[in-house]
Structure 1
Amino acid sequence: MATIALHGFGRIGRQFLRIALSKNLFVPVSISDIRDEDTLAALYAVDTNYGRWHEPVSGTEGKLTIGDRNILYINSSKEIPDWAALGVDLVVDCTGRATVRAGAQAHIDRGAKYVLISAPSKSLADCDAVLLKGINLDTFDPASHHIISMGSCTTNALAAPIKVILENFGIQYGLFSTVHSYTNTQSLTDQPMKDRRDSWAATENIIPSSSGAARALQFIWKDLQITGKAYRVPTRTGSIAELNLITEKDCTVEEVNNAFRKAASEGPLKGVMDVLEGEWASSRIVADPHTSLMDLPLTTKQGNLLSIASWYDNEWGFANRLAEVAAYLAERI
Structure 2
Amino acid sequence: MMGRIAIFGFGRIGRQLLRIALKENLFVPLSISDIKDENTLAALFEVDTNYKRWHEKVIGQEGFMIIGGREIQYINSSKEVPNWKALDVDLVVDCTGRAFTRTAAQVHLERGANRVLISGPSKSLDDCDAVLLKGINLDSFDPDKHKIISMASCTTNALAVVVKLVKENFGIKYGLFSTVHSYTNSQSLTDQPMKDRRDSWAAAENIIPSSSRAARALKFIWNDLRITGKAYRVPTRTGSIAELNLVTEKSCTVQQVNDMFRSAAKGELLGVLDVLEDGWASSRIVGDSHSSIVDLPLTQLEGEILSVATWYDNEWCYASRLAEVAAFLVNK
Give the TM-score band, short-chain normalised.
over 0.9
Alignment correspondent of 1:310: 310
Amino acid in the other structure paired with 1:311: W
Alignment correspondent of 2:67: 66
Alignment correspondent of 2:100: 99
How do 1:127-142 and structure 2 match up within 5 A? 127-142=128-143
**In the TM superposition, what whole-angstrom CA distance separates every residue of 1:231-280 from its partner, at most 9, and x where no partner exists?**
0000000000000000000000000000000110001x110000000000
Q: C-alpha separation between the residues in 1 aligned to 2:286 and 2:30?
A: 29
Q: Are 1:50 and 2:55 counterparts?
A: no
Q: C-alpha separation between the residues in 1 aligned to 2:97 and 2:267?
A: 33
Alignment correspondent of 1:197: 198
Q: C-alpha separation between the residues in 2 aligned to 1:214 and 1:98?
A: 19
Shift of 1:300: 0.2
How do 1:29-178 and structure 2 match up within 5 A? 29-178=30-179
**In the TM superposition, what whole-angstrom CA distance separates every residue of 1:51-103 from its partner, at most 9, and x where no partner exists?**
00000001000000000100000000000000000000100000001000001
Q: C-alpha separation between the residues in 2 aligned to 1:89 and 1:305?
A: 46
TM-score (norm 1): 0.99
Shift of 1:40: 0.1
User: Where has structure 1 moved over 2 Å in runs of 4 or more?
Assistant: none
- Which sections of structure 1, spanning at least 5 residues, go unmatched? none
Shift of 1:328: 0.4
Shift of 1:2: 1.5
Q: C-alpha separation between the residues in 2 aligned to 1:211 and 1:61?
A: 39
Alignment correspondent of 2:209: 208
How do 1:284-323 and structure 2 match up within 5 A? 284-323=284-323
SS at 1:54 equivalent: coil
Amino acid in the other structure paired with 1:53: W
Amino acid in the other structure paired with 2:59: S
Q: C-alpha separation between the residues in 2 aligned to 1:141 and 1:242?
A: 33
Q: C-alpha separation between the residues in 2 aligned to 1:223 and 1:210?
A: 21
**In the TM superposition, what whole-angstrom CA distance separates every residue of 1:138-187 from its partner, at most 9, and x where no partner exists?**
00000000000000000000000111101110100000000000000000
Amino acid in the other structure paired with 1:171: I
Alignment correspondent of 1:277: 277
Alignment correspondent of 1:325: 325
**In the TM superposition, what whole-angstrom CA distance separates every residue of 1:304-325 from its partner, at most 9, and x where no partner exists?**
1100001000000110000000
SS at 2:322 equivalent: helix
Give me the CA root mean square deviation.
0.4
Q: C-alpha separation between the residues in 1 aligned to 2:90 and 2:317?
A: 25
Q: C-alpha separation between the residues in 1 aligned to 2:250 and 2:264?
A: 19
Q: C-alpha separation between the residues in 1 aligned to 2:6 and 2:116?
A: 10
Amino acid in the other structure paired with 2:252: C
- Which sections of structure 2, spanning at least 5 residues, go unmatched? none
Q: C-alpha separation between the residues in 1 aligned to 2:316 and 2:167?
A: 26
Amino acid in the other structure paired with 1:245: L
Q: C-alpha separation between the residues in 1 aligned to 2:213 and 2:89?
A: 30
Alignment correspondent of 2:14: 13
Q: C-alpha separation between the residues in 2 aligned to 1:121 and 1:174?
A: 22
Q: C-alpha separation between the residues in 2 aligned to 1:264 and 1:98?
A: 32
Q: C-alpha separation between the residues in 2 aligned to 1:173 and 1:259?
A: 20
How do 1:230-269 and structure 2 match up within 5 A? 230-267=231-268, 269=269
SS at 1:142 equivalent: coil
Alignment correspondent of 2:223: 222
SS at 1:160 equivalent: helix
Q: C-alpha separation between the residues in 1 aligned to 2:198 and 2:84?
A: 39
Q: C-alpha separation between the residues in 1 aligned to 2:304 and 2:328?
A: 39
Q: C-alpha separation between the residues in 2 aligned to 1:194 and 1:101?
A: 23
| Count of aligned residue pairs for this structure pair | 331
SS at 1:215 equivalent: helix
Q: C-alpha separation between the residues in 1 aligned to 2:226 and 2:261?
A: 21
Shift of 1:29: 0.3
Q: C-alpha separation between the residues in 1 aligned to 2:76 and 2:251?
A: 56
Amino acid in the other structure paired with 2:277: E
SS at 1:19 equivalent: helix
Alignment correspondent of 2:28: 27
Amino acid in the other structure paired with 2:79: K
Alignment correspondent of 1:2: 3
